[in-house]
Structure 1
């Protein structure tokens, strides 16, 4: 979505194979492992937390924002704010929260899906009866993309 809006997107993945297909989805750069962007970034969407979030926050340019969406690392995030003060500028770190109404945004996304302009990246699909299997696969990082449960 960011690339569609004109942003220069840098994707970061733990292993190179997890980056497959990200350029086709709009990433201008795909970094793996401990690689970091050469230049400061304006925004960060972080699903990992821990040291990854701390490093991403440190890479923000003046006026930048990091959104903490998840905590896949299940590790505390330790940020050296003194280092940030010495760099100067203003950077923000916020938790990602969801609130409604969603009507217009949901309609826009459905239109993109129906038109084939948005790939939902479904990596696993199964019955609601298999919810425990889906959760296990997501937590063990064996699903690339989203898990979708069918009810009924």
Structure 2
């Protein structure tokens, strides 16, 4: 039993799509590893040189409306954030907001990375906000399917 040329072409295209996705995922993981290594090295260097940015990191939570588009829903959820004011040129320095992606945030997110290097250069306050439904920013009703419709 032979495949028709069209079916064979479709099969090849699907295979190529799957392989390409795997390659891109591996590249993304490797880039993230390299970024983390560089960030850890930067943090170590600043600690050894006498700067203690870790002392300037504070964790907090803010009550956010569960549904921002329906005023009849009055429930809230605690959204976690980290603040680092080690480099901030008070009171007029800029604020850099780091929005967490698909995962929890950590103190490390306001201690190292390209955005931290820019904060040093521009005298900025660093703020990392955890994406809802990740880490400690999960609504009290849990991650049941019917609770994932809130925006």
TM-score under structure 1 normalisation? 0.22
Bigger proportion of residues as helix: 2
Name the structure, 1 or 2, with higher relative contact order (CA <8 Å, separation 6+): 2
TM-score under structure 2 normalisation? 0.23
Bigger proportion of residues as strand: 1
